[in-house]
Amino acid sequence: MTSIPVIETKDLSKSYGHVEAVRSLNFSVKPHQITAFLGLNGAGKSTTIRMLLGMIRPNSGHGFVLGHRIDDAHESVSLRRKVAYVSENKQLYDYMTVEQIIRFTRPFYPDWSRAREQVLLGAYELPPNRRIRSLSKGMRTKLALLLALARKPELLILDEPSEGLDPIGIELMLTSLVEQNSEGTTVFFSSHQIPEVERVADHICLLHRGSLVLDASLDDIRQSYRQIDLVFPSPPDESDIRLAGVESIRASGRQMSVLVSRNAEMLIERAHALHASSVEVSPIGLREIFLQTVKGC
């Protein structure tokens, strides 16, 4: 198994007029993993994805996808052959039927799997003769997914894939991602839906206002991120508590609630040294980390 990153960016930036959509972004995606690209609406997720695919050009910085430069028009062609992309708005030819667009798309990709196509057509309950124009939002998403998955790509990039899907549709989509990943495809998907990210992702990249604010594996998050609730007879100065690994502190009267990303043991020792009358450690979910990180920025 190679460990050369499938996606890598160096100081990638993009502005629209005075608005800095992506600021000096440095991140990488490991092969064969499922990486979630989290962030609020407007955080810069779609802009980043569109830069990675060579659809828009960065103002500065570099990026590589499967070893290809993202800002080189020639490399962009071979890159798009290896990468399947499901866009946010799932734009498809409206006048075609489901069957027609599948037949139209198929010859572009030598690795296209007819078997996979048929399995997904059945699983997603897509009506072959229906025109795309008259499909519901959820069905369009499923069709876009089918067109991406039947290609058996090296890398699958999805922009908000669960948008417009009902709970069963989300379950089907997640199962498809897992299936695809177990065949060796690296998966990179953007989302603001914590529960789905929490279930399938190996790694999280959290984008806020165009900057990367969290880059961690979910195993590390579950293992090392803790909320430590402290009670002090007389509250100490926040600077006494702000050790390495402390991400945020909320104080209220004699109580203090601290979010740490590592070094929980050091903080506990410090709390005892500061005569804390109660020290409680609890795990912290991705939702709280997401909210506190985004609020603290």
Partner 1 sequence: MTSTIILLYVYTSTVIPMLFKLNQSAGQPLYLQLMQQIRHAVESGALQHGDQLPGIRTLAEELVISPTTVAKAYSELEHDGLLELRQGSGAFISVKRRAQGEMQRVHQAGRQVRRLINELRESGIQENEIRRIFEAELLYPAEVLSKR
Q: Which is nearer to partner 1, 163 or 202 (CB)?
A: 202
78 vs 223, beta carbon nearer partner 1: 223
Give the separation between CA 45 and CA 208, rounded to whole angstroms. 9
β-partners of residue 159 are: 190
Question: Dmax of the chain from CA atoms?
Answer: 72
Is residue 86 within 8 Å of residue 49, measured between CB atoms?
no
| Residue closer to partner 1, measured from CB, 86 or 268 | 268
Q: Report which of 173, 158, 181, 180 is spatially closest to residue 84, judged by C-alpha positions.
A: 158
CA 198 to the chain's CA centroid: 11
Report CA 144 to chain centroid distance, whole Å: 18
Cα angle: 4, vertex 201, 169; to 5 degrees = 125
How near is the Cβ of 248 to partner 1 at its closest, in Å? 17
Closest separation between CB of residue 195 and partner 1, Å? 7
Q: Which of 6, 29, 34, 230 binds partner 1 (CB under 8 A)?
A: 34
Shortest approach of partner 1 to residue 210 CB, angstroms?
28
Alpha carbons 50 and 32: distance in angstroms, whole number? 21
Residue (51 or 197) nearer to partner 1, CB = 197
Instruction: Based on the shown chain and the rule CB under 8 A, indicate whether residue 113 belongs to the binding site for partner 1.
Output: no
**Binding of partner 1 by 32 (CB under 8 A):** yes
Which one, 75 or 202, has the nearer CB to partner 1? 202
Residue of 120, 169, 115 whose CA lies nearest to 146: 120
The residue from 11, 94, 166, 219 that contacts partner 1 (CB under 8 A) is 219
User: 3, 41, 252, 282: which one contacts partner 1 (CB under 8 A)?
Assistant: 282
Least distance (Å) between residue 212 CB and partner 1:
21
| 21 or 204: CB nearest partner 1 | 204
Q: Which two tokens stand for residue 227?
A: 């909320």
Q: Confirm or reject binding of residue 88 to partner 1 (CB under 8 A).
A: no
Q: Which of 75, 88, 171, 215 binds partner 1 (CB under 8 A)?
A: 171
Regarding 193 and contact with partner 1 (CB under 8 A), the answer is no
The residue within the footprint of partner 1, chosen from 2, 3, 129, 182 (CB under 8 A), is 182
> Is residue 216 a contact point for partner 1 (CB under 8 A)?
no
Beta strands in the chain (DSSP E): 7-16, 19-29, 34-38, 60-65, 68-69, 83-86, 155-159, 186-191, 203-208, 211-217, 226-231, 246-252, 255-260, 278-283
Measured CA to CA, the distance from residue 116 to residue 146 in angstroms comes to: 9
Q: Which is nearer to partner 1, 274 or 281 (CB)?
A: 281
CA 151 to chain centroid: 21
CB 98 within 8 A of CB 128: yes
Among 86, 143, 157, 201, which residue sits at the site for partner 1 (rule: CB under 8 A)? Answer: 201
241 binds partner 1 (CB under 8 A): no
Q: Which of residues 252-271 bind partner 1 (CB under 8 A)?
A: 264-265, 268-269
Binding site for partner 1 (CB under 8 A): 32-34, 171, 174-175, 178-179, 181-182, 195, 198-202, 218-219, 222-223, 225-226, 264-265, 268-269, 280-286
